Structure 1
């Protein structure tokens, strides 16, 4: 994929990937050396066997030969290359599994929902690392990741929606809105993952990760008693720190979508193998999960400050 794309793609998705076979050319076309295409090639191989196409039979009529070679050239899907349709379908599959996982924790008993949420959070984190560093994409592991994240998001939504009714639906709408706007901006060419923007993204993401780690440790040790830790216990000009941090995180997640789209576009253009559409779907799912978590947390902080 693109060298400046989503870290998930850079870290794993196209390591060792080779471009899919090219579309076969018309053997009647004049080659650079003026050699008969039906003659013996340098390796003694049938040039048609390479593409799984039968050689013309000696008793075929000229009309049959002309019909055979006037057929449309094979498209990306026919030659085993990744297409945008592949990415869309596999991303939809991941999101369907995620929604099913969320439905489980939304409708089971509260105590079991909490257990499943913790299992989903830990299991999803582990599988995210496995899928990120695995050289070849594994559909089963990617779908398993989506299911575990569904358990986590369902449990989180159940807890926060119980405290602030309606916040779950608002977060879903907000996530879809950010995704749609980001896609439109990318398609229009107004927003691109430039090297300068990538450097800012990496610096800001590292800073955000450090803050999140410190906040989590302080909450676990009881250093802060607020539900969201430093996000709500610290205010800047009367604004909870979590609101400012949340807006930054949502911006980072939105830019991560831009990097996903860039990586997918370049992968399709480069003729990447079809199996890497699972990598693209995984990257999009990870980013959408991150975006949803940040939006529902920001909305909860704002509701709690009312």
Structure 2
């Protein structure tokens, strides 16, 4: 079964079989005669963990390059709130479109991934400023720290074998994610149509429970990302696929950060 992360789910290169992503058709005798004596084509070297780490760092550097200025511009008043809000919505919409294009593309597109990181940075910076203005200072550093701790914990759990991306694990996680998405959509309709308060920001047990579910789901999706990166390295995929691995990790980590940010806001409960 494929990963539930859209960055990997439609990418056969990260399948568990080592033959995935390669054309292994046997050439005919005529084709061999034509190729005889010609120099061998230069093949892209295999993807490594260092490649994934480097490209992940590049994507996050681009994200921070747009997120940090917008965050400080909105929180210090140097940027009009309406302008900041407009940039935040633009980042969310364009980022979503670019993420879908990248995820459903059959080829690796580093340029679009970098563009996605830039627009996603606008969304992350703007939404972080919104939380800071409404729930006070200190929320963002705590969310960043929580994201790093969750990432480290999931990595240790995966490397030690405590959590493995088995078929049953993927199935249960996918069902839970669909259920969580359905609850989110129902809540959104209720807010827009009936003007009710969002259950996801409820300061009681409901809001805390939903936030904990979101953090847990996002954290567990990291296990799927680790597994498919490992399979890609094991299959000796070309170096360019490190961009796809980095993109998938960034999508999950941003999701995890936003879930932790909301959980902290709900726990603070002074909105």
TM-score (norm 2): 0.85
Match of 1:268 in 2: 233
Structure 1 residue ranges (4+ consecutive) displaced by more than 6 angstroms after TM superposition? none
What stretches of structure 2 of length at least 5 have no aligned partner?
25-31, 74-78
Q: Distance in 2 between matches of 1:218 and 1:137?
A: 39
Q: Distance in 1 between matches of 2:132 and 2:11?
A: 36
Kept in 1: contact 2:4–2:174 (CA 8 A): no
Does residue 18 (structure 1) correspond to residue 21 (structure 2)? The answer is yes
Match of 2:76 in 1: none
Does residue 93 (structure 1) correspond to residue 58 (structure 2)? The answer is yes
What is the RMSD of the two structures over their aligned residues, measured on CA atoms? 2.5
Q: Provide the secondary structure at the position in 1 that maps to 2:11.
A: helix
Alpha-carbon distance change, 47 to 212 in structure 1, aligned in 2, over 3 angstroms:
farther
Residue from 200, 211, 214 that aligns with 1:231: 200
Kept in 1: contact 2:47–2:239 (CA 8 A): yes
Q: Provide the secondary structure at the position in 2 that maps to 1:49.
A: coil
What stretches of structure 1 of length at least 5 have no aligned partner?
22-41, 53-77
Query: Within 5 A, what are the aligned runs for 1:21-170?
Result: 43=33, 45=35, 49-50=39-40, 79-108=44-73, 109=79, 110-164=81-135, 165-170=137-142
Kept in 2: contact 1:175–1:291 (CA 8 A): yes
Alpha-carbon distance change, 264 to 114 in structure 1, aligned in 2, over 3 angstroms:
same
TM-score (norm 1): 0.76
Kept in 1: contact 2:14–2:232 (CA 8 A): no
Q: Distance in 2 between matches of 1:182 and 1:125?
A: 26
Kept in 2: contact 1:91–1:284 (CA 8 A): yes
Alpha-carbon distance change, 166 to 286 in structure 1, aligned in 2, over 3 angstroms:
same
Q: Distance in 2 between matches of 1:114 and 1:273?
A: 40
Report 1 or 2 for greater relative contact order, CA contacts < 8 Å, sequence distance ≥ 6.
2
CA offsets, 1:124-180, max 9 Å, x none? 111111111011011110011111111111111111112222111110100011011
Q: Distance in 1 between matches of 2:21 and 2:162?
A: 31
Q: CA deviation at 1:181?
A: 1.0
Q: Distance in 1 between matches of 2:97 and 2:44?
A: 34
Greater helix percent: which structure? 2
Match of 2:166 in 1: 194
When structure 1 is superposed on structure 2, of 249-258 and 78-87 the one drifting more is 78-87
Alpha-carbon distance change, 20 to 282 in structure 1, aligned in 2, over 3 angstroms:
farther
Does residue 242 (structure 1) correspond to residue 214 (structure 2)? The answer is no
Residue from 199, 209, 221 that aligns with 2:193: 221
Aligned pairs, number: 253
Q: CA deviation at 1:102?
A: 0.6
Q: Distance in 1 between matches of 2:152 and 2:160?
A: 12
